[in-house]
Amino acid sequence: MSATPSFPALLQRFFTDRLMQQRRASPHTIGSYRDTFRLLLRFAQMRLGRQPSQLAFEQIDAPLIAAFLDELQDKRGITARSRNLRLTAIRSFFRYAAFEAPTHAEQIQRVLAIPSQRFTRTQVGFLTRPEVDALLAAPDRQTWSGRRDHALLLLAVQAGLRLSELTAMRRDTVILGSGAHVLVMGKGRKERATPLTRQTAAVLKAWLKEIPANPDATIFPSARGTRLSADGVQYLLAKHVAVAARSCPSLAHKRVTPHVLRHTTAMELLQAGVDRAVIALWLGHESVETTQIYLDANLAIKEQALARTAPPDATPGRFRPDDQLLAFLTEL
């Protein structure tokens, strides 16, 4: 029977063997897990007075991890959602350890039993069609960067891509002609094909003539020819939202991020009557349940359901209390 590996060796193998080779985790996942364990090891070093490379597996127990998570919330002010993400990374390692270090089974079970924190899920933000139209009209298409930004925003809204998927798009992932679509490498390195409308395909076809012809060229380059960064996309989006808000004032009161554009895609598909399972495939969701958040947030669909249950002689629509009732509720 082979000896139980040390904690440092086991942690290294978790990253190199489990995450990188077996699961082929995305760079984003690996980076998130890495940051979690950096924080945990520094905390353990301060709490136990030992260098991370000298820590024993038995020392990384449930009380230490619970104290670590509490400190993140109390001193760093992280949210319950962020706390749960850190705990997810730790749980993943300990599930791996359950097979590699079975002699620590009792300790591992205690760690895996640490509960996630419940939190209030906020409704997803999305743009209305007039807001989308104003945003797409904002870039100055007389300039190279304006044409790039218009193509990027149009693809983001129509295809519902994640920010990382958008910036990773290459010339050879855009398939034009009959059945135009883009090939997207999503979470967990899962590839999907997302169809393009005629308008989006035409805009991308024109834009591709302005960038290098090599197949692996990024389709949304910076002025220096390099791939746009996440911060760069957020900057150009904020700039165009500010311009669009002049003609569509409601945008001035919304926090518009690349993910809000993705939410907008889901909402438009939902309002068009597209089935949740199809939307999940479109967005690259691993589970249909993930798509439920858009249904929960869509007031228009709920009002349609309410109208179907209204008496025949009733006027369908949103309930609007009178002034006396509002005053009564205000005084409660």
Residue 199 and residue 178 in contact, taking contact as beta carbons nearer than 8 Å: no
**From 141, 181, 227, 259, the catalytic residue:** 259
Residue 117 and residue 169 in contact, taking contact as beta carbons nearer than 8 Å: no
**From 96, 104, 263, 294, the catalytic residue:** 294
Task: Give, as one character, the DSSP assignment of residue 118.
Answer: P
**From 162, 240, 263, 276, the catalytic residue:** 162
**From 181, 187, 192, 227, the catalytic residue:** 187
- Residue 50 a catalytic site member: no
Residue 314 in tokens:
């009733």
- Residue 285 a catalytic site member: yes
Backbone φ/ψ region at 194: left (φ over 0), alpha (ψ -120 to 50), beta: beta
- Residue 28 a catalytic site member: no
Residue 127 and residue 261 in contact, taking contact as beta carbons nearer than 8 Å: yes
Q: Bridge partners of 175? A: 181
- Residue 276 a catalytic site member: no
Give the DSSP letter string of 17-65: IIIIIIS---HHHHHHHHHHHHHHHHHHHHHH---GGG--GGGS-HHHH
Quote the strand ranges of 147-218, DSSP E. Answer: 174-175, 181-185, 191-195
- Residue 205 a catalytic site member: no
Give the number of C-alpha atoms closer than 13 A to the C-alpha of residue 67, restricted to the C-beta side: 13
Instruction: Identify which of 255, 228, 79 has the alpha carbon closest to the alpha carbon of residue 163.
Output: 228
- Residue 75 a catalytic site member: no
Spatial distance between the Cα atoms of 123 and 240, rounded to a whole number of angstroms: 24
**From 86, 148, 150, 285, the catalytic residue:** 285
Give the number of C-alpha atoms closer than 13 A to the C-alpha of residue 89, restricted to the C-beta side: 23
Spatial distance between the Cα atoms of 110 and 90, rounded to a whole number of angstroms: 12
Phi/psi for 179 (5° steps) reads: 70, 40
**From 18, 104, 262, 276, the catalytic residue:** 262
- Pairing relationship of beta strands 174-175 and 181-185 according to DSSP bridges: antiparallel
Which residues participate in catalysis according to the annotation?
A: 162, 187, 259, 262, 285, 294
